[in-house]
Structure 1
Amino acid sequence: MKIGILGGTFDPIHYGHLWFAEYARERFKLDKVFFIPNKIPPHRETPLATSKQRYEMVLLATLSNPCFEVLPIELEREGISYMVDTIRDLSSCFSFDELYLLLGNDAFRDFLKWKEPYKIIEKASIIVGSRGIEDYSSDLKNFIKNFENKIFFLDFPYYPISAKEIRERVKRGLSIKYLVPESVEDYIIKNGIYL
């Protein structure tokens, strides 16, 4: 079984996340993509929506795709959400032949600053949603060269939206239609998130 992991704050989840996950799933013939909302992100600001709200939004967004599954393992763990710990947990709970970590280009740029990046690459290959490696640091370029058989660059049609932009639009009373699934939009409005 080939599994993809897409972790993040998902504050909120949007079509960019979903499109990247689906495109990677098809291209790499992944059997499942696990969406893993984090509790306390180590490399980003504290989410505005609660852990429960973010988890529920991801559930709503992924409901229609049988190849997507939402795992609350980072939300249930105390402390900062580190991917290396999540991969260890997944390895003890699930049986899979291949594991792929799905990362946006911005997250991959900082990958060597993550907790135990070499342990992560030992356990999982990386799929980077990217259009090239021109602007990476020399250390990251060397890392890519050393692990070229485990790092894949997925040139996919970019969906130009960010969670930050969505939050700002909600705060300003602007539409987020076509940026997030309708069920997520309804949930945000009903719960007064990001106002």
Structure 2
Amino acid sequence: MKVLLYGGTFDPPHNGHMNNLRAALDLVQPDRAIVMPAGIPPHKAASATPGAVRLAMCRCFTALSPVVEVSDWEIRQGGRSYTVHTLEMLRARFPDAALYLSVGSDMLLSFQKWCRWQDILQMAALVVESRRPGDEGALQTAADALQAAGGRVLFARAESYPCASSDLRTGRIPRAEWPRHLPAPVLQVIEEEGLYPAADALPATKEDCGHDL
């Protein structure tokens, strides 16, 4: 049995997130894929969007495959969410499963700063998406270092998506363009909840988007 974990703040989840999970599903072919919205990610400030609302937006991922499910486990724990604790929970829940952890290419480059990263490598293979042109050498170097430390690193076929969640929240991408970047169920939740008022308060720019998942 193969179990894929796909975590993130998802504030909001956009088509780049969808592309990344789709690529990981195609590569791993898991029996279960668990989308896990974070409570408070260690490397970011707490999200202003309530966990229950981010959880509702993440229902969009279930359209990708019948094996995809959305979990509120990290949100229910409260406080900061550490991937190693989530993997320990999954290891206890699925003791005989092969675990896979989906990460973006930027996360691979900083992986050795993660809490108990060596333990993560022992529990799960890393599935890396969103390769940006010019990053190949640095990514391979990072992958080689992690594999030398006993890890397993797989590269999925997903290109970097020209949108960031922060660009949507702050208005760098105007609302008129949001249907290009957001799944319809996410747009519906945003409208119903009145999310991201700052997007209406700032003028849109023509700067290139970053890669903030």
Q: Same fold (TM over 0.5)?
A: yes
Match of 1:72 in 2: 72
For the residues of structure 2 that align with 1:189 and 1:106, how far apart are their CA atoms?
31
Corresponding residue of 1:62 = 61
**1:119-148 CA deviation, whole Å, 9 max, x = no partner?**
00000000111435423597x465234057
Question: Quick check: 116-125 or 14-23, which moved more?
Answer: 14-23
SS of residue in 1 equivalent to 2:138? coil
Structure 1 residue 88, shift from structure 2 partner: 0.6
Q: How far apart, CA to CA, are the structure 1 residues paired with 2:17 and 2:31? A: 17
Q: Which runs of 5+ in 2 are unaligned?
A: 198-213
Alignment of 1:11-90 (within 5 A): 11-59=11-59, 61-64=60-63, 65-90=65-90
**Superposition deviation, residue 44 in structure 1:** 1.5
User: Structure 1's 19 and 96: CA in aligned 2 closer, same or farther, altered over 3 A?
Assistant: farther
Would the aligned equivalents of 1:3 and 1:96 in 2 still touch at CA under 8 Å? no
Deviation at 1:113, TM superposition (A): 0.7
Within 5 Å, which residues of 2 pair with 1:106-145? Answer: 106-131=106-131, 132-135=135-138, 140=142, 143-145=145-147
Is 1:157 the equivalent of 2:156?
Answer: no
Uncovered stretches (5+) of structure 1, i.e. residues with no partner? none
TM-score scaled by structure 2?
Answer: 0.81
> 8 Å contact 2:100–2:126 — kept in the other structure?
yes
8 Å CA contact 1:4–1:99 kept in 2: the answer is yes
Contact kept, 8 Å, 1:25 with 1:31, in 2: the verdict is: no
Q: Is residue 193 from structure 1 mapped to residue 169 from structure 2 by the alignment?
A: no
1:169: which partner in 2? 171
Q: Deviations over 1:155-183 (max 9, x none)?
A: 32333221111212389544310211111
Q: What is the TM-score with the length of structure 1 in the denominator? A: 0.88
Deviations 1:37-77 (A, max 9, x none): 01011011221311111011102x12323121111110111
Between the aligned residues of both structures, percent identity stands at 27
Offset at residue 78 of structure 1 (A): 2.8
Q: Do 1:100 and 1:124's aligned partners in 2 also have CA atoms closer than 8 Å?
A: yes
